[in-house]
Structure 1
Amino acid sequence: MSNPRALIFWGGWEGHEPESCASIVSDMLRTEGMEVTSVEGTDVLLTGDLSSYALIVPMVTQVASDKGAIGRLCDAVRRGTGLGGFHGGMGDAFRDSPPYQFMVGGQWVAHPGDIIDYRVEVAQSEHPITTGINSFDYRSEQYFLHVDPGNDVLATTTFSGEHAPETAGTVMPVVWTRRYGKGRVFYSSLGHQAHELSHPEAREILRRGLVWAADTSNAGS
């Protein structure tokens, strides 16, 4: 039996260090027994059978969408390919594509205060992605997103209002899963730059989430 295949496509805004992050995630997935293809740009979405991948990981911030490419990506996920990713690489990938944002379940809109200290609260302790992980402190951009109320939220953060008074008391999803057709979708807003992928809880949530989205035997239910 062949190993499950994963596709990472990376690029866009360099501030998110997409090449370095892609390398880290590639190693993470290979350790999980996946055969990884990592390519720069989005042209890969226009070629080949995307449904042959168990998992697709977008890692592109602020790139223009191609309607045909997004259509093929959405179709692959709808038919059962997993979609997983983090921060702006997935949550701010295609600002001009409502179909992509509908599939993901949210879209970044702000990070008041830029890099700040905040708390991540685990909302579900029995889900395979978060089981055994306690709430934790984190230093990064605290993402304010427009989110689908149908998401299955696994972790949240509460805005203090210090940097944007209108957000005071807002409880914002940080980690969620959802279904899109037959496909599993996982998203975490953690991971602004490559060094953050060494944060123990953030890294473990990402690892488990990607495996869950790929729907391999190690992912739980």
Structure 2
Amino acid sequence: MTNVLVLAGRGRYGDPWHDHAATTDAIATLLRADGHDVVVRSTFPDALDDVRPDLLVVNSGRGPLDPAEDDDWRGFHDRRAALVAAGVPVLGVHQAANTFGDDPRWPATLGGRWVEGVSWHPPLDAATFRVLDAHHPVTAGLAEVAATDERYADLEVASASRVLLAADVAGDDGTGAHPVVWVGPGPGRVVYDALGHDVRSYSSPDRRALLRREVAWLLGR
């Protein structure tokens, strides 16, 4: 049985606009239905103290970062970086592009990030996300993914990342294809998936199928 650890945003890595507990429960319910052994932990400094999962899922965001608390979190970030270095695959969901802002190793792992004052999204609505790479196992055979969700735009994406899905978002310079799902540079297998603002996203069969594909690839299946 595969051991999956899902980190749910809280406090320092939570905010009033996202119900990380509810979306984490939706993720955990789906993965348990597929036979995975899922442990859910809130983002506390000791959340990674005694674990070595087969897959790490990060579903957290950005709360108030008090520099006075940075030392309290250094061990957490070191343990997370050690898991990545050891080859534990990582799935970052939605706000994961805007979490752990006090550790530059995280966006380097994820292969991109939300940039304050640059990245944005139009209002949540019924959305269609286009497949840009039909050759990767995560998206092979797919043309699009439909879900009620936010469409992130103008994320910073590393040149080494492999973009799989994009959102078509109209801006001042016209409509552009903005990367929302990509494979990160690693060193192990990493996927960032910008979908998942709230539980409405997980009610979509397309979105659930995408998540399952991501997890299967991350686990080498």
Normalised by the length of structure 2, the TM-score is: 0.83
Report the count of equivalent residues: 206
Distance 2:156 2:210 in 1: 21
Q: Which amino acid aligns with 2:56?
A: I
Distance 1:95 1:186 in 2: 18
Distance 2:34 2:84 in 1: 21
Pairwise CA distance, 1:123? 1.1
Pairwise CA distance, 1:176? 0.8
Distance 1:80 1:136 in 2: 29
Distance 1:29 1:136 in 2: 19
Pairwise CA distance, 1:169? 4.1
- What is the Cα-based RMSD across aligned positions, in Å? 2.1
Asked if 2 retains the 8 angstrom alpha-carbon contact of 1:45 and 1:72, the reply is no
Equivalent position to 1:100, from 106, 124, 129: 106
Pairwise CA distance, 1:68? 2.3
Pairwise CA distance, 1:43? 2.7
Pairwise CA distance, 1:41? 2.2
Equivalent position SS for 2:192? strand
Q: Which amino acid aligns with 1:34?
A: H
Consecutive unaligned residues of structure 1, counting only runs of 5 or more, are none
TM-aligned CA distance change 1:17 to 1:75, over 3 Å:
same
Equivalent position SS for 2:189? strand
Distance 2:49 2:105 in 1: 20
75-84 or 134-143: bigger deviation:
134-143
Identity of aligned residues (%): 26
TM-aligned CA distance change 1:8 to 1:14, over 3 Å:
farther
Distance 2:139 2:24 in 1: 23
Asked if 1 retains the 8 angstrom alpha-carbon contact of 2:5 and 2:38, the reply is yes
Equivalent position SS for 1:61? coil
Normalised by the length of structure 1, the TM-score is: 0.83
Consecutive unaligned residues of structure 2, counting only runs of 5 or more, are none
Distance 1:205 1:133 in 2: 9
Report the structure, 1 or 2, having the larger strand content.
1
Q: Which amino acid aligns with 1:18?
A: H
Structure 1 stretches of 4+ moved >6 Å: none
133-142 or 102-111: bigger deviation:
133-142
Within a 5 Å distance, the mapping from 1:1-221 to structure 2 comes to: 3-11=1-9, 12-49=14-51, 52-63=52-63, 64=65, 66-88=73-95, 90-109=96-115, 110-116=119-125, 118-144=127-153, 145-161=155-171, 165-166=172-173, 168-181=174-187, 183-215=188-220, 219=221
